[in-house]
């Protein structure tokens, strides 16, 4: 997972245009990671 984040950071540096895309992508991943435990605990 850390390597994946490093890749995203490298892409951010190489392609500034993709910065917003990477941010949205990270938010999606973080959102899923946060949602999953809650879904498990509520069911």
Render pLDDT for 1-43 as a digit per residue (tens, 0 to 9).
Answer: 688 878 777 766 666 666 778 788 888 888 888 777 766 665 5
Q: Look up the pTM and report it.
A: 0.39
Which position has the token pair 């997972």?
1
CA distance 37 to 16: 33
pLDDT of residue 10: 73
From first CA to last CA, the distance across the chain in angstroms is 27
């Amino acid at each position: 997972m850390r390597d994946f984040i490093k890749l995203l950071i490298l892409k951010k540096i190489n392609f500034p245009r993709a910065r917003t895309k990477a941010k949205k992508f990270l938010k999606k991943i973080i959102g899923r990671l946060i949602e999953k435990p809650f879904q498990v605990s509520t069911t």
